[in-house]
Structure 1
Amino acid sequence: MNVSKTVAIASSEQLQNIFRQAQQEKNPVYLYRKPGDYGISLDLSKWNEVEEFDVDNLMIIVPPGILLRELNELVTAKGLRFIPADSPYLAGLSVGEWVYRGCPNLSSWKYGAGKHFLLGSSYVFPNGEITDVGGKCIKNVSGYDLTRFLAGAYADFAVGVRFVLKLMPQPACRRCYDVAISSLADVNRLVSALHSQPVPPAWLYWADAAAGSQLFAQQQAAHRIIFELDGNAAEVNDYAAAVDKLLIACNAEKAALLTALPDVSQLEEQAAGFWLLDEFKVPYPAISEFAEKVTAALAEFHWNGGLFGQLANGKIHLYVEKTDSRLNSFIARLQTEAAALGGAASGKYERVYGDGGSGILAVIEKNFKQQLDPAQIFNPAAEVTK
């Protein structure tokens, strides 16, 4: 087969047949990645009917095609919430792609990693086999944690086709802040002060002037901080009183033009420029120094760009207005700078744009994948196209 075609998938059996035939023909199969010039691009968007919704036991079972936005609307109507979908941040992402990306969670500062809300899954492997991991209750996810191993970000082990998700009740009270702060030093002071509080914000989102101007579609000269408090009314009101004082001490001002938190679901694929999410993790006390290193690197490469992300958790994302063939060396430099400051690189850049990761874990993953994908058909490596 020398042409590219899109195939709508609505069942595990159909997907298994596609993979088995593709293995025989050594035909590439793409999902959640930009397809190549030939092969099969899978479309799971219509595979979106909820299998089970157990309100009493705070659990829902869903297929891969349902959007986080749709899931949020469904559970909110019952007074519940799925924490990773409890904000507009990833609203346009399907549950399947959310798992494929490693279960990102804007609210991880308060509620923990997104993978903690994934109790179980079913996966179809590229060799056509299918398996269930985890279950409907916590005791079923003990021992070897294959649920979270298979949900490793961009690992391309298998296609998730069924997900058991943990829900939580809606909070009685919420309060959102949207402020502008001139200096990164004051931004760090605010985050440090919030860290010292007994209970953290549900989430905190930061963007410097360059990235924020693109994300919020409005020119800004300062750093933008948006965060939310949640809990019972008394707790939130007491916390808000403390936060109001912190904002004054950190020279924060109410944003001139208030806006909703951006949906970054398709940012890397659809927005102008080069965007790289979930690559860098840097301890928040070192963010100022990391930002200086990035600014210096951008100037050396004669590029314009900036940083944004979940500052309190150290997840830092990159925006560059325009890049060229030196992008690999630029990213490698930032990875080195992050490591030197006590941080780390996730390896996503190599997984998505290169030939995979490196190191002992990468060897284990490649050996595991070789057993499940003997013809190496599933999401073969792609090149940077922006």
Structure 2
Amino acid sequence: MSQSVLPQSIKELQHLLWTAADSDYPVYVYREGPQDGVIIDLSKLNEIIEIDPANLVATVEPGVKLGALAKKLAEQGLRFIPADTLFYQDKTVGELFYEGCSTISSLKYGCTKHFLMGSEVVLPSGEILKTGGKTVKNVTGYDFTRFFNAPYTDFGITAKYLLKLLPVPETRKSVSVSFKGIAELLAFIKDLKASHIVPAYLLWVDLGEQSVFRTDSSGQLVMMEFDGLSEEVSEQWKNTEIFIKKYKGAIYEVSDGCSEMASKWSCLYRTTDKYVLTEEIKMPFTAQGEFYKIFYEKAKASRVKASLFGQLAEGKLNIVFAENYPQDTFIENIIEAVEQAGGVSSGKYGRLTGKRPAGILAELEHRAKIALDPKMILNR
């Protein structure tokens, strides 16, 4: 029977992995293993080791909750962008990088991986490998920081993260709008892009007739936030409001600072007993309207209750299910439709169900795994 252990320090984590490697005993982290393994719980490794305002870098352990980190940084007028919204407050820093979570504010600030400057990884042998550093010159050449911290790559367990910080913006404005249909919503976003209006984030939730989300609202819900200098934010909102009226959008909320609507929908990126966040898709903007139709046609034909949400302006879509056990065949059909439309799947569903990735990069990943973890003790 598997047992759970909570290392209290990095030295304890090292000893645990060294012992497991020596005895050829499997250990699991960020996932549940079979009956014959040890599940490593990193929740006690939750120290914010250092906040360095001069270099805009924070050094933290993997068990630090993003909500707690955001609160601590705000006291010094700083922020870690992936933790700077309500959507990931309950996740730990380790979960954020291991699960490959997409930064909600990547439309303006870039991907999550660009906010990782360095790390300390405990290898399956118990040795510590340091990558990157506080300054850009320390992350030139081979990018071992992102290599060892790529989603679902089990080369070792990261025990320290060096996170890139930014100052808190002068002004923030949150907006929630509903459009009648997907065509109006996509036209609205197209106008925003053409006008070079860049919200900090733009998150879409499908509340149409086929939606699995239980709510009093309907249509296509968009939650946006603008941040920066007051004049800049005011001008962007003024122009955005023109496009909302053009496509007959209904404004639910305009507020300074924290959004009530975002707070309500922050559950989207959390694990619940009502649905499973199963697969993530990268889709060309011009193909999204047609894919929307295909998705619901296939769901109806397969009698699967599923919906879409995500970051439409960037083409990042998420599939969410009303039940905890989606059908393999349906997922495969959807991924095929995505590829035919010129998009790609993150492969998250395959990872979660234990299927080995395919392709050249997957083969290189497998070779690296053999070299760094020859006994395959970590997440066997």
The TM-score normalised by the length of structure 2 is 0.93
Q: Which residue of the partner structure matches residue 384 of structure 1?
A: none
5+ residue gaps, structure 2: 254-258
Secondary structure of the structure 1 residue equivalent to 2:266: coil
* Alignment CA distance shift 1:117-1:281 (3 Å): same
Percent same amino acid at aligned positions? 34
Letter in 1 for 2:359: G
Partners of 2:281 and 2:345 within 8 A in 1? yes
Secondary structure of the structure 1 residue equivalent to 2:100: coil
Alignment of 1:129-278 (within 5 A): 129-209=127-207, 218-255=215-252, 259-261=261-263, 262-264=265-267, 267=270, 269-277=271-279
Q: Are residue 65 (structure 1) and residue 63 (structure 2) matched?
A: yes
Letter in 2 for 1:273: Y
Q: Which residue of the partner structure matches residue 256 of structure 2?
A: none
Q: Which residue of the partner structure matches residue 295 of structure 2?
A: 294
2-structure distance, mates of 1:9, 1:232 = 44
Partners of 1:69 and 1:85 within 8 A in 2? yes
2-structure distance, mates of 1:295, 1:213 = 9
1-structure distance, mates of 2:209, 2:162 = 35
Partners of 1:283 and 1:343 within 8 A in 2? yes
How far has the Cα of 1:323 moved from its partner?
Answer: 6.8
1-structure distance, mates of 2:376, 2:266 = 33
Question: 1:183-206: per-residue Cα shift (whole Å, max 9, x none)?
Answer: 000110111111123341000100
Partners of 1:211 and 1:305 within 8 A in 2? no
2-structure distance, mates of 1:167, 1:9 = 28
Partners of 1:29 and 1:378 within 8 A in 2? yes
RMSD, matched Cα: 2.1
* Alignment CA distance shift 1:265-1:148 (3 Å): farther
Question: 1:245-288: per-residue Cα shift (whole Å, max 9, x none)?
Answer: 01011221023995234335863x433233215x2110222111
Letter in 2 for 1:239: Q
5+ residue gaps, structure 1: 381-386
Letter in 1 for 2:277: W
2-structure distance, mates of 1:347, 1:112 = 21
2-structure distance, mates of 1:164, 1:189 = 40
How far has the Cα of 1:327 moved from its partner?
Answer: 1.8
2-structure distance, mates of 1:195, 1:176 = 18
Question: 1:334-355: per-residue Cα shift (whole Å, max 9, x none)?
Answer: 1111111111111222122132
Letter in 1 for 2:355: D
Partners of 2:212 and 2:306 within 8 A in 1? no
Q: Which residue of the partner structure matches residue 372 of structure 1?
A: 372
Equivalent position to 1:128, from 126, 129, 149: 126
Q: Which residue of the partner structure matches residue 84 of structure 2?
A: 86
The TM-score normalised by the length of structure 1 is 0.91
1-structure distance, mates of 2:293, 2:23 = 50
Partners of 1:150 and 1:158 within 8 A in 2? yes
Q: Which residue of the partner structure matches residue 40 of structure 2?
A: 42
Partners of 2:295 and 2:334 within 8 A in 1? yes
Report how many aligned residue pairs link the two structures. 374
Partners of 1:92 and 1:266 within 8 A in 2? no
Question: 1:205-227: per-residue Cα shift (whole Å, max 9, x none)?
Answer: 00111699766x52432111001
Q: Which residue of the partner structure matches residue 363 of structure 2?
A: 363
Partners of 2:124 and 2:372 within 8 A in 1? yes
1-structure distance, mates of 2:217, 2:102 = 27
How far has the Cα of 1:307 moved from its partner?
Answer: 0.2
Q: Which residue of the partner structure matches residue 307 of structure 2?
A: 306
